[in-house]
Structure 1
């Protein structure tokens, strides 16, 4: 890739990021629209997480990964500390892969 392309992309990225603070006072969005935008962002992040959980580069990622995410979800619901959530999910996934459930 040429250096001028990188420069143009950097400039466009900067312009895109500066538009929000510059136009904040000029554009007014209703509270209902703000709520829908928040929900859309949440839905996007959840769909990305599910896609990365279920699929790997060559297809289905396996049941061990799904079980690990399920354990993490339960620990989040129980309000466990972050370290406990990560270690618990990794341990369940590792044990299931060790016994042959990929």
Structure 2
């Protein structure tokens, strides 16, 4: 299991998530620029959206169609799943392997 030490910068989060298919929603950018702590991304290929709190690193991944929660920052049952590791590595700086 990977251990993470801190949250990446806003620019890094956007770049990293873009690299794995997520797009920062324009309306969310406007709200963020007005002081929101949240970034909302959509992955159109997977029909999911990802809400990231940039102050504490918490995130929630939801199904765009059913609104079902798929994963959060608290899950440990997805540690071997590439899609989950992509999200973790996009948001957090890696500390070490345990």
TM-score by length of 2: 0.26
Give the number of the structure whose residues are more often strand, by fraction: 2
TM-score by length of 1: 0.25
With CA pairs under 8 Å and 6+ residues apart, which has the higher RCO, 1 or 2?
2
Give the number of the structure whose residues are more often helix, by fraction: 1
Rg bigger for which structure?
A: 1
